[in-house]
Structure 1
């Protein structure tokens, strides 16, 4: 009778593909649109529930994926929010060049028309609402929004102004427009909520221009 060695024992069961795969790593067959689906779900969750009450698990459930997949693509909830903000804010950044181009004495109207136009469009209004509602109620969300707006928009507008207080001027102009957006589109106070968009632009643009280039 031949002796057995330690290696002759029963073979270890083969690990399944799911177990062998690193936790949270998407399979190769994962749809290329998964990341976008997660972002869409995140914007919807943040819009409905705000930053505080939104969870990675809730985003995953809404997107029809596992929570580990959300972490794989984005990391923490703050990072998911930042990615959602960047995507939602993309139209603002894309339209930024139209604000910075042209005569400086018309920049107030261009800036006002850009912001009002983005809020008037149903496509861009929903993600903007998600950002604003979350930023108002949570300092982490506010910090993410603040970093993006400051670095990508306000500093560039301030760079076009020939004034020692250029950054303050740009921030005052932005505050004017954010206030209009809050009252008209978020709180929906009448008669501003149902006023004609062109009427709003005509009346607000000179105020924004005054903040930017006035004495």
Structure 2
């Protein structure tokens, strides 16, 4: 209950410890295993305070992924010429997955999106707004949104096979080798010629 000894009062500074506890829980327990009460217990606050700041478990997850995902670092890698855009993106993407401070959070988000429709919707909206839209804005070829979607689907597929399912030999390949193999495909999606069938299929997926 609110006011118990050891519980934090409801001030704005309390939000960050709650969010930190939520991120840790989503990473270690996944979306289904994370609860408002569990997060409140770890943050030493009343569950009502978690609801006050975030409204619901979905609201808490939304805030957690925005806080924990290195979106800004991916957007930063988009800066520069189009000719080497895929190389920068893929290299940065794999570096983040290999990083012990970012990799577990990325894995937790993918796990959650695969297991829970609500989590998938939140991740889809984040990707569309904060990653795909900036990427499309840097492309000079036709159908930039569709090109960005193809690139994202390829990169997420690599992450799923390498880091989530750990399919060999992909899981054990050196990251630079993976990057060198995937980069030409991503670059074609971003700046190369795309067939009408590819455009039609991707446009349908966007609806």
Residue 41 of structure 1 is aligned with which of 14, 18, 21?
21
CA contact (8 A) 1:43 1:130 kept: no
User: For residues 164 and 30 of structure 2, what CA distance do their matches in structure 1 show?
Assistant: 13
1:93 match: 72
User: For residues 9 and 17 of structure 2, what CA distance do their matches in structure 1 show?
Assistant: 16
1:8 match: none
Distance 1:31 1:96, change over 3 A: closer
Cα drift, residue 149 of structure 1: 0.8
User: For residues 191 and 129 of structure 1, what CA distance do their matches in structure 2 show?
Assistant: 19
Cα drift, residue 64 of structure 1: 2.7
Residue 111 of structure 2 is aligned with which of 133, 140, 149?
133
Deviations 1:85-105 (A, max 9, x none): 10112x222341231x21111
Cα RMSD for the two superposed structures: 2.2
Q: Give the gaps of 5 or more residues in structure 1.
A: 1-16, 20-25
Residue 149 of structure 1 is aligned with which of 127, 130, 142?
127
User: For residues 174 and 95 of structure 1, what CA distance do their matches in structure 2 show?
Assistant: 12
1:12 match: none
Alignment of 1:93-112 (within 5 A): 93-99=72-78, 101-112=79-90
Q: Secondary structure at the match of 1:59?
A: helix
Deviations 1:118-164 (A, max 9, x none): 10100011111111111111111111111111111111111222233
1:60 maps onto 2:40 in alignment: yes
Q: Secondary structure at the match of 2:101?
A: helix
CA contact (8 A) 2:90 2:183 kept: yes
- The count of aligned residue pairs is 190
CA contact (8 A) 1:50 1:137 kept: no
User: For residues 77 and 30 of structure 2, what CA distance do their matches in structure 1 show?
Assistant: 31
Taking structure 1 as the reference length, what is the TM-score of the superposition?
0.81
2:201 match: none
User: For residues 154 and 73 of structure 2, what CA distance do their matches in structure 1 show?
Assistant: 21
User: For residues 152 and 12 of structure 2, what CA distance do their matches in structure 1 show?
Assistant: 39
User: For residues 142 and 181 of structure 1, what CA distance do their matches in structure 2 show?
Assistant: 16
